[in-house]
Amino acid sequence: MNTVKQMTFRDLLKRFPDEEACKAFLAKRRWPNGVTCPRCGNKRVYTLKARPFHWLCKSGAERLDSKTGKIVGCSKKNGYRFSVITKTVFENTNYPLREWFRAIFLMLHSKKGMSAHQIHRMLGTGSYETAWYMCTRIRAAMKDEELPKLMGEIEIDETFIGGRDKNRHYHQRSHSAGPYASGKIEVMGAIARKGNIVCQMIEDIGFHTEKTRAEFVRKVVSKDVSLVATDESHHYRNLRKEGVPHESIQHGQHEYVRGKVHTQTIESFWSLLKRGIIGNYHKVSAKYLPLYLNEFSFRFNNRKNADIFDAIIAGC
């Protein structure tokens, strides 16, 4: 199905034989229009000849840090020194970029994801803790800064991760004790057919939950949707009133497809997500679930992008 030619591991080793190649690549991705000061945004920075991939900003943009009482910024006198990894996920680690790049490659090219344990074993260097730290930071870099608006035919659905009857659909779940009682975490998702997935963990349980769900829907549905397909869940009952072309199928009555009205696209994403999470991470807490959602969404949304590696580096 996937006809896009993505980089092979062999290509990766060839492209990034040493730290210098990695740094040059990172600088180009990070600053496609020329090096910019990560602190003040100044473009007229000085190259430090003696230290490759280091620059100096003397823009004069300074301010008083109210916490420390010190003047911080890019003073005209001493300036602010920064390197290619300053304010990136690669900062504050002594781990070589080459290893980071390999870890990123492994995470991107495994459809169901890869745990820190697997990455650690495959890289064969560093400690497990380092691998875990890298994976966590890479997942954070995969986040979309804003929820994108979806167009065309879209499907919206919610699912629960964790707990016993996690694979069951809404009408099949036991509601007696409530889904949260058994440690399940709710995730809402919207997918544009043949397009992107957006998902979000629904955090506040109880009084505000309904509001959070409604806000999610409002944020992801653009004015250009031609159909919003959902199941019969009451979360979506007001969509028509708001002018959204909403149609629902009655899962409770064993109706799964009615012409264009179905939620099969998003359900296949849920099954990919759950198989990945169960297979790699066994169980997942509310603390880390948003990171896994970033990872699975990023990979899914870039499935046809031959430059997926470049895309992630630009976001690091």
CB of 46 to Zn ion, least distance (A): 11
Does residue 55 contact residue 45 with C-beta atoms inside 8 Å? yes
> What residue has token string 């198989």?
275
The closest of 118, 93, 138 to 312, measured between CA atoms, is: 138
Yes or no: say if 276 and 291 are a contact pair by the CB < 8 Å rule. Answer: no
63 close to 73: Cβ distance less than 8 angstroms: yes
Based on the shown chain and the rule CB under 5 A, indicate whether residue 57 belongs to the binding site for Zn ion: yes
| Of residues 37 and 135, the one with the C-beta less far from Zn ion | 37
Residue of 22, 59, 169, 229 that binds Zn ion (CB under 5 A): 59
Size of interface with Zn ion, in residues (CB under 5 A): 7
Cβ nearer to Zn ion, comparing 59 with 83: 59
Whichever of 42 and 182 has its CB closer to Zn ion, that residue is 42
**What are the residue ranges of helices labelled H in 127-263?**
128-141, 209-220
**CB-nearer residue toward Zn ion: 74 or 187:** 74
Q: Does 37 bind Zn ion (CB under 5 A)?
A: yes
Is position 294 an interface residue for Zn ion (rule: CB under 5 A)?
no
Nearer to Zn ion, 75 or 182 (CB): 75
40 near Zn ion (CB under 5 A): yes
12-17 own/partner pairs: CB under 8 Å, 24+ apart: 12/101, 12/102, 12/105, 12/309, 16/97, 16/98, 16/101
Beta-strand ranges (E) seen in the chain are 46-47, 54-57, 61-64, 71-74, 80-83, 150-161, 185-192, 197-201, 221-231, 246-249
The verdict on 188 binding Zn ion (CB under 5 A) reads no
CA distance 309 to 152: 28
From the list 42, 93, 118, 212, which residue makes contact with Zn ion (rule: CB under 5 A)?
A: 42
Please pick, from the candidates 6, 24, 39, 278, the single residue that binds Zn ion as defined by CB under 5 A.
Answer: 39
Q: Which stretch binds Zn ion (CB under 5 A): 69-77, 82-90, 123-131, 159-167?
A: 69-77
Nearer CB in complex with Zn ion: 76/168: 76
Residues that bind Zn ion (CB under 5 A): 37, 39-40, 42, 57, 59, 74
